[in-house]
C-alpha cells in the first residue's frame, strides 16, 4: 500500500498545501471518486470538507472524471485532462486513469468546500509536532 500525497487548494486564499498522509489515513480515501465530498474529521482536519478534483498515479498518468472505475484506458480524447490538442478538431488516444482512488494513486487533488474553525496550516503543524 502506498501513501497518498494530498494537495489541498484553498479557493479563498488561492494557495495550495501539500502533505503526505499516513497509510491509515490514505486508506480512508480508497473507493472515493472525483467530485465526491469528503469529511475532513477522519483525515485530521476537524470541521473541514473537501471535494476531490483529480489526481495521478505513480507514472504520472492523470485521473479523468469521465473514465469510470479504477482502470487505465486509452480513450479517444478531443481535449481536457490528459490531452491538449494543437489544432482545432484534433483527436488522439491518450492513456488516462479512471475516476476512482485505488492503491496505484499516489496524488489526490482536493479543494476546500467548507472551512473549519481553525486555520488549516495550524492543524497541519499540530499534527506534525504530535506525531
* Tens digits of residue pLDDT in 68-103: 999 999 999 999 999 999 999 999 999 999 999 999
CA distance 2 to 85: 33
- Domain-located, residue 39: yes
> Which structural domain range is residue 24 located in?
5-66+99-130
**Res. 129: pLDDT tops 70:** no
- Domain-located, residue 71: no
Neighbours of 110 (CB within 10 A): 26
- Domain-located, residue 115: yes
| Range with the poorest average pLDDT among 15-24, 38-47, 114-123 | 114-123
Q: Could you tell me the pLDDT band of residue 109, with boundaries at 50, 70 and 90?
A: very high
- Domain-located, residue 88: no
Q: Give pLDDT, residue 121.
A: 80
Domain count, the chain: 1
On whether the CB atoms of residues 110 and 18 are closer than 8 A, the answer is: no
- Domain-located, residue 117: yes
**Res. 67: pLDDT tops 60:** yes
Q: 83 to each of 41, 91, 102, 109, 126, how far by Cα in Å? A: 35, 9, 22, 18, 39
- Domain-located, residue 28: yes
- Domain-located, residue 80: no
Across 99-123, average pLDDT: 91
- Domain-located, residue 43: yes
C-alpha count within 13 angstroms, C-beta hemisphere, residue 56: 9
Amino acid at each position: 500500500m502506498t501513501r497518498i500525497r494530498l494537495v489541498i487548494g484553498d479557493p479563498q486564499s488561492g494557495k495550495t498545501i501539500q502533505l503526505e498522509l499516513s497509510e491509515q489515513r490514505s486508506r480512508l480515501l480508497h473507493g472515493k471518486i472525483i467530485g465526491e465530498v469528503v469529511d475532513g474529521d477522519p483525515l485530521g482536519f476537524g470541521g473541514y470538507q473537501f471535494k476531490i478534483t483529480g489526481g495521478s498515479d505513480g507514472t504520472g498518468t492523470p485521473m479523468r472524471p469521465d473514465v469510470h472505475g479504477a482502470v487505465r484506458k486509452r480513450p479517444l480524447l478531443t481535449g481536457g485532462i490528459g490531452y491538449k490538442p494543437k489544432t482545432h478538431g484534433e483527436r488522439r488516444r491518450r492513456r488516462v486513469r479512471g475516476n476512482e482512488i485505488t492503491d496505484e494513486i499516489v496524488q489526490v487533488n482536493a479543494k476546500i468546500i467548507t472551512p473549519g474553525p481553525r486555520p488549516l496550516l495550524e492543524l497541519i503543524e499540530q499534527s506534525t509536532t504530535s506525531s
